[in-house]
Amino acid sequence: MDEKSFNKVLEISEQFYGTANDPEQIPINQESRDKLQKLHSKALIFTIENSEPVSWTVIVPTSNKLAEKFLKGEISERDLLDMTEPAKQYEALYLCSAFTVPEYRKKGYAIKLLKEQINSIPHTANPLLFAWIYSQEGERLVDKLEQELGVKIHRR
């Protein structure tokens, strides 16, 4: 992702999620981007239309142990990223974020990106998929992804 696109993603994402004022969430910044890239090159991906980012998704590949702690509320989202170490294969995939700018919504961008990530990030058979849902749109997205993949996505 080029710097101009990444900066636009940062700006829009921060307006929506407000991570700067929430110590529980993964901060939307260069440090988090670097950590995600160390975990896997497809941890953060996006779609560009007319030279602008229109949809992006973040998956944090991790271990079952950390996933369970997160699902039980024992660690924060930020802790999950901080405590996850790079691996050749991951046991769990945290569907961290999916965002599509309003004029591009309901066109399947987020589902397509999430499926690409799930298929690209090396994982064990039947990885634990999990999410922390922030909106009704997010709930619908996770429901649809569950249907399309035929697997349960655990929710915090």
110-126 tens-digit pLDDT: 999 999 999 999 999 99
| 41-97 pLDDT, tens digit each | 999 999 989 888 899 999 999 999 999 999 999 999 999 999 999 999 999 999 999
CA distance 130 to 14: 22
Q: What's the mean pLDDT when you consider all of the chain?
A: 91
Copy the structure tokens of residue 25.
């969430």
Please tell me the pTM assigned to this model: 0.90
Cα–Cα distance, 59 to 72 (Å, whole number): 19
Q: Taking a C-beta distance cutoff of 8 angstroms, is the pair 100, 110 a contact?
A: yes
